[in-house]
Every structure is written in C-alpha cells, then in structure tokens.
Amino acid sequence: MYEREVIELLKRNGIDVVATLPCEKISVLLRLVAREEAFCHVGLNREENGVGISAGVCLAGGKPVMIIQSTGLGNAINAIMSLSCTYRLPLPIIASWRGVYEEKIEAQVPLGKALPKILDAMDLKYTVVADSSAIGTIEEVIQDAFRNERPHIALISPKAWGSGAVIEEDAAQRQKIARTRILRYEKGTEEPEMRRYDAIRILSEYIREEPVISNIGVPSKELYAIKDRALNFYMLGSLGQASPIGLGVALKTKRETIVLDGDGSLLMSNILPVVGAKKPENLSIVCLDNGTWGSTGDQPTPFYGDMELTAIGAGIESTAKVYTEAALRSSLEQLYAERGPRFLHVIVKPGNVPPVENIKLSAAQIKERFLFSACL
C-alpha cells in the first residue's frame, strides 16, 4: 500500500506534527496519519491555519507537514507567501491534485488545471507525483523544504494511489462525535476603561519566560514599543494566523505560550475549535477586543456577539472576560491556576493611542532571535 510508504518516509524524516484537511482521494492516508503515534495530528478547518500552525511548530524546533487537497492551496496562498516565504520557514505540503486526472467534479477543474502556472507565477517550488512510481519523491520534497527553508508542494495525482485500499475508521474516532454539554452563561456588558496599548503594557509586566505571539499590525508595534524581547514573535503579515502560530509553538514546547490576538483576527481564522480539540495545556490566548479592525482605520467588525462565549462553544473551558485594569491584573495573576487552553477576553476601547513606530527588525531577525531564545 503506497499510503504506508508515505507514512514511513514521514517518520524517517523526523516529521512530528501533521496538519490535515480531507480529500476523498487521500482518505486512506489521512486515516493512517490519525492512527500513527509518532505524529501529533491536527485536524484543520481552514488550510491557512495549517500554514500558521506549521510556522509555530518550526519556530519551536519541530518538523511539520501539511496534507490537504490542492484546492486548499488557493485558500492558503496569502499565508504561505506572507508567513512561510517572508520568514523563510520550511513548509512541506502533500496536496492531492484535483481537477486534472479523471476528475468528475466540474468545479475542481479550473483551479486544478491552472495550479502549476499559479505556483510558477509566485515562485513556489512544487513537484508533480504523476503515478505510484514517483511516490518516493515526496521524501525529496520534505528534505528540500527543510534544507532550503521554503514551501515545497507535492502535487499528487489520484492515479498515484492505485485503487482498492480501504482503511476502516477507528470506533474511538467516531465516538468523539457524541457528547453532551450543558451551558449557563449570564454576563452583562460594561464600558471598557483601557485601550489596547494599556492592556499590552499591563500584560507585559507579567511576562517572564513565555514565548509571545503578537497579532499583525499595530498590536505587534505596541508590544515592540512597550517590551521588546527575543521571545516575542512579531507578525508582519498573514492576518488571522496569530493563534494558529501560537498553537503550533505550544504543541512543540513545554513552556507556557501566550498569544496576543484580536477579535477580527480570531473571527477570520476560526481557529478556536481546533484549539478546543487539541487542548494544549500550555496555551493562553488573550483576545484584545476593540470591536474594530484596529490596524486599518477602526472600521467595525461585523460581529455583535461575545468572543468569550465563542471560545466556550469551541470547547475551551478556562475563560474570563475583563473590562478594567484591576480585573485584568487579577486574571493575569491567576492565569496559570488552571490548565490550558485558556481564553482571556479583554474588552478595550478602539483607537491606536498613543501612536507607535514601525518595528525596526526584519522578518529574518525576528525569526532567528526567537528560534535561538526558544531553544535555550
């Protein structure tokens, strides 16, 4: 079975985290991945989150692989270019190439046929695995991605897998679907007294040896101005990927890991169900919620719900909401009283006050000093 050959080459190359989204053409491979004890398997709900998680794994010294359908590359392009390519992070991707070989779904064809030209235009390295005789080249894809610190995509034709292989789903996996939850949630709203800058300033007083992943734009600039340190990972692009990166880091380190995320970013990524499923005990997500797209002009986000309730619904059990400096300090002092994942919902006023300068570090500098410090 060629799928088992792929599992063995992943193990042989030290892959320890595998992020996946389904495709019927690789269903056997995906079930084998989920059963393999050598891997931490992360089931995704968006392909770009896999890019963020893989980035975090690399930043913490791990070796990730993504396994997805080729159409998902269209969803993940910005994250691949602005995160993996910008910071020169290895990203081997095994992609089931749809739309080309005996494709029965019409909607798969336009992107599938155009994909090589799209990847060429972006100077993204890819290797076509046309049939089973080329399955072994997946190993070269993985090694090249790590050797040259870049994305490398294996486009695997459905022809490569042959036919007839069947792997039954584990009963334990099916049983996870059945669950009962009783929720009582009564919380009013208050006027916030802090701006985001104030909340970050307060939080920085409590940071010790934790890696901190900071959201794109002004939040990263504010953290840089308030308390620059090697264990801060400042995002320069890839909106929505702060918490996925933090999840990837937390999966590969025993250190407590903190994410400074925003309401808009979390709405965009929808990563909270993945965090709730993996339940990393060392991850804390601080949602700095100003109700706007704060780095692009404070336009209101189209969400009038409750981010804490969203986190609870996603399966995160340790949550809190604060509006004041006193409440924030109290929550930070007790942050590690419960195991993670933790979600701290900090309601702040909109506005980028005081103004801060751009980060005076390149992507390479941000990555290299973070990598060095995370390994100490």
Give 5-44 pLDDT, tens digit per residue. Answer: 999 999 999 999 999 999 999 999 999 999 999 999 999 9
- Residue 367 contacts residue 89 (beta carbons within 8 Å): yes
Q: Where are the alpha helices (DSSP H) in the chain?
A: 2-12, 27-35, 47-59, 71-79, 109-121, 137-147, 171-175, 196-204, 218-227, 242-252, 263-269, 272-278, 307-313, 325-333, 363-374
Superfamily of domain 2-175: Thiamin diphosphate (ThDP)-binding fold, Pyr/PP domains (3.40.50.970)
Whole-model pTM: value is: 0.95
Q: Name the token pair of 373.
A: 């410090």
Architecture of domain 196-374: 3-Layer(aba) Sandwich (3.40)
The alpha carbon dihedral of 154, 34, 56, 318 has a sign of positive
**pLDDT tens profile 190-216:** 899 999 999 999 999 999 999 999 999
The alpha carbon dihedral of 28, 34, 38, 43 has a sign of positive
Residue ranges of the chain that CATH labels 3.40.50.970: 2-175, 196-374
Looking at residue 31, its amino acid is R
Q: Omega of the bond prior to 354 within 30 degrees of 0, cis? A: yes
Q: Predicted confidence band at 188 (pLDDT cuts at 50, 70, 90)?
A: confident
pLDDT of residue 53: 98
